[in-house]
Structure 1
Amino acid sequence: MSDPYGGQPYNPHWQGGRPPGQWQQPPQQQWQQPAPAHGGYAPGGHGGYEPSPAADLPLAPIYRRAAARLMDNALVAVFGFALVLPIAFGVIGLDAPGSKTRTEGGVWNWPIITTLFVVLAILPFLYEAIQLSMWGQTLGKRMLGMSVVRVDPAGDPLPATQAVWRAAINNIGYQLGLFFFLILAVKVWEYAAYGLLLVTIGMVMAYLWAIWDQPLHQAMHDRFADTVVVDDRFGDEDDHYDYDQ
């Protein structure tokens, strides 16, 4: 094959016309980052990141969210046990002398497990779903000045379906694994109690996820339901600060 440069070394400043084909480099194509889903970051034009529109919302502090959750859980547990336990004792016959449900399986019999599931899962689900559907906040969140809103469109009130979905994940969804291993441990295999420990750790981590989640500080049920918890006191605090100044 003949040398296209006549035996001379390649000169990048060669002025003899168009360089041979093997020295032509194909044009470079600019790589484009696909647009991210809401709640994440997209590379900006200056090497930075562009946050989701929901990141501009006044997010509720984690400690107040935890306090509201504890208030709601305590309220439901107290009224739930006060309502369900007398019904369970009277209808199922737990308090009757010589009752089979009183002696079979020790304390962990089916009526007790069912009562616990109603109090710890079904009642909290109804409590949260109804209030979020109507007002966007539970009693605990209302007392501490917080609301649950949509991520997209950012800050819009929750529709009923989204409120029910969030409440179902937060209450029934988290509890299903717990009661599955509880039933397995007391009815089938006692070593399944280790599964209870793992599920409990997973439930705690699902709530703690909001601490390090960026940029919206969503717990796992917020991520699945596409919601975010906002601070209703944000504007009032600013007004009070301006007045004091």
Structure 2
Amino acid sequence: MSHPTPPPPHIPPHTPPPDLPGQPGPSGPYAYAPPPYAYAPPPLPGPPPELVAPLGRRFLAKLVDALVMAAIVAGITVPCAVHLETDPEGVTEGLAITGIIFSLLFAFLLYDPALTATGGTVGKRLCGLKVARVETGEQVGFGAALGRHLMAGLINNAMCVPLAYLWCTWDKPFHQGLHDKIVRTVVVRTR
């Protein structure tokens, strides 16, 4: 004895998705539009937008640092130069020249890297800023701070304009200077 075969389940005919305004529908060149991507691209490593240093604060910090460096250089070189002028054949001539060389070396090679590696230059600290690693947000060491400083000097002197610093005005999303991009650092707010 054979059992009757049940009728197949009712399957409704395929109906295309409704036309959306501004998009071609089933009657247009595409009969079916693929769904939007199920995933978003991973975010860029770096600080959240609210921690990125504002350009005005960065400019003010750079101005303060320039004044501090000028005061250091003047405070050492002027007395040394006066001493050389008044006693050109004196025994302390070598000491005066050494003082001038040290002040220039400190101002142009050590001020920014040494203070950046220990938390920030005078200008950055007054403006509530610091230099950090772009991927982790950790403080940079002396090597990275020195590399950042030397790259800025090299780029700015080679181009005869402060391109390394101006770069941050159009860079997105972290407003990194060109020297920051090279050594993978970013300037962030501390307050």
Does residue 51 (structure 1) correspond to residue 43 (structure 2)? The answer is yes
- Relative to structure 1, is the Cα distance of residues 67 and 51 closer, same or farther in structure 2, using a 3 angstrom cutoff? same
Q: Write out per-residue CA displacement over residues 91-140 of structure 1, whole angstroms, 9 at most, x where no aligned residue.
A: xx45679xxxxxxxxxxxxxxxxx69x64x751321111111222x1111
- Output the CA distance in 1 between the equivalents of 2:142 and 2:72: 25
| 1:1-245 matches, cutoff 5 A | 45=37, 50-56=42-48, 58-90=51-83, 93=84, 119=104, 122-135=106-119, 137-152=120-135, 154-171=136-153, 173-174=154-155, 177=157, 199=160, 201=161, 204-233=162-191
SS at match of 2:138: coil
- Relative to structure 1, is the Cα distance of residues 95 and 219 closer, same or farther in structure 2, using a 3 angstrom cutoff? farther
**Normalised by the size of structure 2, how large is the TM-score?**
0.63
- Does the 8 Å contact 2:128/2:189 carry over to 1? yes
Give the residue type in structure 2 aligned to 1:151: V
Give 1 or 2 for the bigger CA radius of gyration: 2
RMSD, aligned α-carbons: 3.3
CA displacement at 1:165 relative to structure 2: 1.5
- Does the 8 Å contact 1:71/1:140 carry over to 2? yes
- Does the 8 Å contact 2:152/2:164 carry over to 1? no
CA displacement at 1:141 relative to structure 2: 0.8
CA displacement at 1:215 relative to structure 2: 1.5
SS at match of 1:53: coil
SS at match of 2:132: strand
- Output the CA distance in 2 between the equivalents of 1:71 and 1:151: 24
Q: Write out per-residue CA displacement over residues 189-242 of structure 1, whole angstroms, 9 at most, x where no aligned residue.
A: xxxxxxxxx61x2xx232111011011110111112210011111xxxxxxxxx
2:32 matched residue in structure 1: none
- Does the 8 Å contact 1:60/1:146 carry over to 2? yes
CA displacement at 1:85 relative to structure 2: 3.3
Stretches of structure 2 that go unaligned for 5 or more consecutive residues are: 1-36, 89-99
Stretches of structure 1 that go unaligned for 5 or more consecutive residues are: 1-44, 98-114, 179-197, 234-245
**Normalised by the size of structure 1, how large is the TM-score?**
0.50
